[in-house]
Amino acid sequence: MRHRLIFNQTLRCELDTAWLFFTNPYNLSKITPDDMRFEIKNKELPKSITKGLKIDYIVSPLWNIPLKWKTEITDVQHQELFADMQLVGPFKYWLHTHTFEPCAEGVSMTDVIEYELPLGWIGEIAHTMFVKRRLNAIFTFRRKILDHTFNNA
User: What is the per-residue pLDDT for 152?
Assistant: 85
User: What is the per-residue pLDDT for 64?
Assistant: 81
Taking the chain (153 residues) in consecutive chunks of 10 residues, what is each chunk's mean pLDDT?
96 97 95 92 94 95 85 98 97 97 97 96 91 94 96 81
User: What is the per-residue pLDDT for 65?
Assistant: 84
Specify the 3-state DSSP secondary structure of 133: helix
Alpha helices in 11-119 (DSSP H): 15-22
Domains defined along the chain, listed by start: 2-150 (3.30.530.20)
User: What is the per-residue pLDDT for 6?
Assistant: 97
**Rg (the chain; Cα; Å):** 15
User: What is the per-residue pLDDT for 62?
Assistant: 72
User: What is the per-residue pLDDT for 153?
Assistant: 64
- Cα 135 from chain centroid (whole Å): 10
Exposure class string for 12-49: b at 16+ Cβ within 10 A, else e: ebebeebbebbbebeebeebbeeebebeeeeeeeeeeb
Pairing of strands 54-59, 2-11: unpaired
User: What is the per-residue pLDDT for 82?
Assistant: 98
CB-facing half-sphere around the CA of 146: CA atoms within 13 A = 26
